[in-house]
Structure 1
């Protein structure tokens, strides 16, 4: 019998097990045994815990959530209509409801799968090779396995945070557990400084206001809201970030002419990615093709991709009838700032303008255009750049541009933006450059999400003793300039010699860098869970035994 241990039990693990169930069928009976190590409810994991407050909501459309399989095709939409119909019409339902669905899918799979699945409620502290086996050491002891899958998600709780914020009320990241924001810890008279001004910080703000009994009143004209305080809120809430630029809210719908404009660029991005791989497989340095937007400047440059994206952004501007230069668009991508926006424009006005653009009440600007280009082409971008050997300087440049564009593409839902705007207008909330200068009455909250990958920074130390020991043993590798594990298309970890492991796999956030976009519930965005499941299914087949012989 083949024994497999999963380190982590969140959605990525659920999706891999669903793929395995569909691939194996009756072949796995008596041939396979699965253990899932996670102190949190399996399927939901740490991020999607079912006890979260209702104010903490999904930041992407619920339509992407799907944990169906061949024996149980129930999607999230079908499930919520049956189990929680009060949320059935919500585009962005509470995160706890999504967690209930994911956990329910895990429980149902465990009941129907052709292989046993055991949940071990424990943290894993080490994974060690013992000849042809793996020893998995956890809080409950140690066991031996034929294969291990590393799917640790938003981090391991076996050591202190490497980016800990001194003086913060919460020693751990605000992920799934928000009890530290309760009134016994943060009094109504307190002033609160939040490090971070992104999605986690928005959750914290809403829990400190709406979560304490505050209400929203709809204006008679337009989508705008006013905030009605309960008297239990902190006296003042400040969100602090380095750029002090707010995230742009998502539009409820994208104009059809923009969607049509994006379509031909999907193939162009994929062809560019194939060009890079072909050149690198041949060990060549490339030169740009004359007049060809697919050209790649050097075998490890993002220049060709940037030209394709800029061409798409320019075409979107033309379709919208907006006069804007390529230089203006590129500067916005590089700096994360809209050149036409006055430097002194308040955060509230920037949010208000973004909502007006989404609703067709104002002319789209460069940030709005880039948001639609980046989000619309993101599946093709992730495929095109996956595992390519980039020059470290190019990696830093790409990461900078990608970070800016993600703030324009993957910001909060419009309803969240409207609530933040109402709090800003009421004077209860402000966004400022972060400076850790506290007085005795200010409470510091850390709302920065742990970095993906397994290193603190490129070339730095491992974020966990578990990964440190595997790196020291040469079982896993991180390329120069990156922080995530290098794997092949089936998720198999590449060792220090550049060879794929046949028994050690990594899925999701630990691999961010060589692969992109793992903070998602989109099951179809990454092929590794499917590839891993196909490999295991093949190993269980009689033909595989013949191949080995």
Structure 2
């Protein structure tokens, strides 16, 4: 048993957790990657300020792998891949004084396993989770030089204000803190609230994937409908094929699937739009020319120069023109004669968004994106739009976050962002190749992409059919591959309780939890709440782009840690 986990067991049964009166007490609720980043930044600040006063840090994380959380748990199957290149993964904001011990993901893999990895490749989430958990253990050891550190392997159900402190409640203990930060991420594996019609259907949640999608839950030869057509759909489909000893091989330019006989007879994805997620390029197969860097830099500078708040982001706005002009300039780099314009880019986007997408159109978009992403075809406008959004995104985050977008523009922005999620932040090209192989093998059936399930009262309770006006298919099992949005809080979690008590509020327009640049939430009356911070996914909209492992896109953990270290130092000087 690891030392941090042993500490958790040692205190886990106490009904009340008390500290010495002179201790400065810090609570971290949720310790996935964002909680890890807060701890790592705090460790740096404590060392920098030589804070050696009496200090205690309590970490509340119910998952087995602190630092990784559920999403990056190292026990999950290795076919579940990142869509964030290995070279970008680094848990450390800076090297600090112990740079030799602070390795990025690529360096850690080489040290741990003695093998090199393609920095442009997409690693298994489980291996990334192993790295994050190892970083957590290092940070834990660093913090023990300054503080009494304890991990509690339990879920926090409620937090309340008590004079100048915050009280944390779990089913095991109650404790008070001088500083409390909530980094609860997805708040555990949950499914979104289904529609009234969907409540009549028995959906199997996608996660935890091995438990929920076993051969006992979904038997070989059954027909499975999957709600959702994004990254989780791919995870579920691989669990129903690769996990069951099906094999993918590369033949020429394409992937081919060799069935094991244990997979479902048919896998049917369905969604509201029918639009797929396009393949994310592997830069080892499709190197990005250095000339593009100047295009992206000009685009970011133009976004940064926009006057705030941004009052328009529709197709006639300066914001949108910057994006489409950047995409046009990028695609022109690969063309000999036909020069694209921002109008051509806009027309492509209009066609992409127009109504629901037909199965044949969706499949063609997937095939083309796969070939472009693997360097087999010349880049097109779809690639250029995705590349422009990815490369201008840091500037978009800087400008739009913290009220940088007018409240009445959020509906338009969310529409753009949802489509760009499909175009820019899709799966690794290899996984798109695998899905194409399953389609070619007749296992994945796209004919019902925008259809709806219908209850079949002639069969057992909870069973249904799906039809497209021409064909109707009986469905044996339904899987929910749609995760709750950041706006859908856990009904029994601490954030929902704070909202109901009007201790915090949502930012008008975006509806994310409103916070300042230190993560301090804002009350219904517009006052900043002190000694409490909320950092990460639940603030989406107030802070843009939280679902990332990037340490460079946001600096809230560093800002929070710097303020806390200053408080500790000031208290020490006043004693």
Whether the TM-score (by the shorter chain) exceeds 0.5 is yes
Q: 1:119 aligns to what?
A: 151
1:408 to 423, 443, 451: 423
Shift of 1:466: 2.5
3-state SS in 1 of match to 2:411: helix
Q: 1:282 aligns to what?
A: none
Q: 2:176 aligns to what?
A: 144
The two structures have a TM-score, normalised by structure 1, of 0.87
Q: 1:75 aligns to what?
A: 104
3-state SS in 1 of match to 2:445: strand
Question: Is the aligned partner of 1:23 residue 2:54?
Answer: no
Contact (CA 8 Å) 2:328, 2:381: kept in 1 or not? no
**How many residues are aligned here?**
516
Q: 1:105 aligns to what?
A: 135
1:286-307 deviations in Å (ceiling 9; x for gaps) = xxxxxxxxxx657999933222
Q: How does 1:198-347 map to 2 (within 5 A)?
A: 198-219=230-251, 221-222=252-253, 224-253=254-283, 254-272=288-306, 275-276=307-308, 297=311, 303-321=317-335, 322-333=338-349, 336-337=352-353, 345-347=360-362
After superposition, the CA RMSD in angstroms is 2.8
1:366-390 deviations in Å (ceiling 9; x for gaps) = 2211101001111111111111254
| TM-aligned CA distance change 1:329 to 1:232, over 3 Å | same
Shift of 1:214: 0.8
Contact (CA 8 Å) 1:453, 1:513: kept in 2 or not? no
| TM-aligned CA distance change 1:80 to 1:506, over 3 Å | same
Q: 1:472 aligns to what?
A: 500
Moved more, 358-367 or 525-534: 358-367
Shift of 1:344: 6.7
Q: Distance in 2 between matches of 1:356 and 1:299?
A: 31
Shift of 1:392: 3.8
Shift of 1:181: 0.7
Q: 1:435 aligns to what?
A: 452
Q: 1:505 aligns to what?
A: 533
Q: Distance in 1 between matches of 2:54 and 2:566?
A: 12
Question: Is the aligned partner of 1:487 residue 2:515?
Answer: yes
Unaligned runs of 5+ in 2: 1-22, 455-463, 466-473
Q: Distance in 2 between matches of 1:176 and 1:350?
A: 30
Contact (CA 8 Å) 2:204, 2:479: kept in 1 or not? no
1:151-195 deviations in Å (ceiling 9; x for gaps) = 1101257x98534853666665x3454311111110001111111
The two structures have a TM-score, normalised by structure 2, of 0.83
3-state SS in 1 of match to 2:531: strand
2:369 to 349, 354, 358: 354
Unaligned runs of 5+ in 1: 278-295, 456-461
Q: Distance in 2 between matches of 1:541 and 1:335?
A: 58
Shift of 1:463: 4.6
Q: Distance in 1 between matches of 2:132 and 2:322?
A: 37
Shift of 1:543: 8.5
Shift of 1:355: 1.9
2:185 to 142, 147, 153: 153
1:115-167 deviations in Å (ceiling 9; x for gaps) = 2321111111111111122111112121111222111101257x985348536
3-state SS in 1 of match to 2:181: strand
3-state SS in 2 of match to 1:202: helix
1:44 to 42, 50, 68: 68
3-state SS in 2 of match to 1:495: coil
| TM-aligned CA distance change 1:236 to 1:74, over 3 Å | same
Shift of 1:262: 1.4
Shift of 1:515: 1.1
